Amino acid sequence: MNPLRLRGRDSGARGQNRTQPAQLQTAGRLSALRVRLTLLLIALNVVGLVGMGAVAMVVDQQQRDGLVQAELDRTARTAKALLYYESGALRLDRLFADPAAKGPTAVHVYEGTRTSVRLVFAHPSSLPVIAPENLRGLARLVWQGQGELATTITTEGRHARLLAVPFTHAVTGAVSGTVVVSVDLGPVQQAHWRLGWTLFAGGAVFTLLVGLGGHLLARRGTQPAVEAFGQQERFVADAAHELRTPLTVIRALSEGALKDPSQQPQALRQVLRSAERLADSVEALLMRARLVAGLRELQRQPFRLDQLAEEVVAETVQPPHTTTVSVSPTVVSGDPTLVRIAIRNLAHNAVRHGRIGTEPAAITLVVETGKIMIKDAGPGLGDQPAQRFRSNAADGTGLGLTIAQWVAELHGGELQLYPDPEGGTAAVMTLPDPPPDGR
């Protein structure tokens, strides 16, 4: 015997047609919200990464330029200090022996003549990015009194950094030549761009992970809202139908009684039954609305579940319908007002569906520890049991069982429907005791 748990999605075909557009509308809005939140998170992440990446690239470029300039300055000063004159001739032996003139930084020494400068030392002899005339032209300008000069030369997409400093004659103090140091910036630029591509690849992977994580978090964060909106929309749809049906019946009966006075007694009785059903629905809706809005709290208090159930069933199941009662003294902690409404809805449902043809309903009430069972002897759940619990079904109870389920869940329990092997259906509502801390 498999229980049928009441769920809003377990509706029949007509119920799905009626509630599906609203659910899709809410789900679509929340899905679009999740997408917008994810895109916003990705956009903020991209802006942050681009900003930090740009700052990192600028700082890295400045640091590399500073290191290159410092290396050029150190090499130029060292080479200049190793030059000296002896017997009027420029001596280069110290420069040849010093490691500074044999490192990765190119060193060129130009000695002044009467009209120009001539190359007297070169290590290496040339760089592929610097033409000899460029070196000589820069050395000539410094020798002619321009002072120290630093420049960057670009040839076929490759860059080189140059620094030219003058050196003087030890006796006369006049500028007698120029030391030109240079370095190919290709390796430096390649390292700089490798850093840039590394930051880009890392940022892309990080953005992808952030987008995926953000979408999962947004989905998980809005899932309770999706479920709440879905339940709310289903409840509103059921409530609208549940309230509309009695009003329609009352109006039709009233119009028929006005046209045919002989039908007025019967019509008045039916109007009273519809009015009672409408009053019950309004009471349940108002109670639920007050609880949801926080205007009324769940008032847990100990009460005798068996006595309350017997009283409600006795009021609801009137002759010619019969009731068999099997209860044991049971005390539960809950809201007796809400439990009363739930039991009354279950009893109404059992009376309505617990008949075969025109025969009276035979209802069985069983109360045990934390559990209420109301069983009927009707035709059972049938091939489409969920149709029975929708307000748009031809003989459905609609809002009644929806509210009963809501009351059970509000108390931490559940409402299940069991097809009885001997015929009929058993509705079982559990009301577990709350934890000791009251949560």
pTM of the model: 0.52
* CA–CA distances in Å: residue 205 to residues 46, 51, 274: 11, 16, 64
Sheet bearing 425-430, strands edge to edge? 4-5, 415-419, 425-430, 371-375, 362-368, 322-327
Structure confidence at residue 18 (pLDDT):
40
Token pair belonging to 45:
């992440």
Structure confidence at residue 335 (pLDDT):
87
Which comes out higher in pLDDT, residue 264 or 326? Answer: 326
Rounded Cα distance, 16 and 9, in Å: 8
Give me the DSSP letters along 291-328.
HHTTSS----EEEEHHHHHHHHHHHHS-TTSEEEEEE-
> Among the listed ranges 151-155, 166-170, 201-205, 375-379, which one has the minimum average pLDDT value?
375-379
Domain coordinates of the chain in residue numbers? 1-232, 298-439
Rounded Cα distance, 420 and 381, in Å: 9
Residue 110 has pLDDT above 90, yes or no: yes
Work out the angle between the directed axes of helices 264-292 and 399-410 (0-180°, nearest 10).
30
- Cβ atoms within 10 Å, residue 381: 19
- The DSSP 8-state label assigned to residue 433 in this structure reads P
Domain 1-232 indexed as CATH 3.10.180.10: no
Rounded Cα distance, 17 and 6, in Å: 18
Domain 298-439 indexed as CATH 3.40.50.1820: no
Rounded average pLDDT over 109-121: 93
> Among the listed ranges 88-102, 293-307, 336-350, 408-422, which one has the minimum average pLDDT value?
293-307
Rounded Cα distance, 167 and 148, in Å: 10
Structure confidence at residue 150 (pLDDT):
94
Structure confidence at residue 16 (pLDDT):
37
Burial environment of residue 338 by CB neighbours within 10 A (0 to 12, 13 to 18, 19 or more) = buried
* CA–CA distances in Å: residue 343 to residues 63, 387, 414: 79, 21, 13
Amino acid (1-letter code) at residue 245: T
What's the chain's average pLDDT? Answer: 81
Rounded Cα distance, 301 and 308, in Å: 13
- The DSSP 8-state label assigned to residue 145 in this structure reads I
Residue 72 has pLDDT above 60, yes or no: yes
Residue 10 has pLDDT above 50, yes or no: no
Rounded Cα distance, 122 and 251, in Å: 112
Residue 69 has pLDDT above 90, yes or no: yes
Rounded Cα distance, 380 and 2, in Å: 13
Structure confidence at residue 155 (pLDDT):
81
Could you tell me the pLDDT band of residue 241, with boundaries at 50, 70 and 90? low
- Percent of the chain past pLDDT 90, that is, above it, reads 33
Which comes out higher in pLDDT, residue 93 or 284? Answer: 93
Residue ranges with strand state E in 296-421: 301-304, 322-327, 331-334, 362-368, 371-375, 415-419
Amino acid (1-letter code) at residue 75: T
Rounded average pLDDT over 28-52: 87
Rounded Cα distance, 241 and 339, in Å: 23
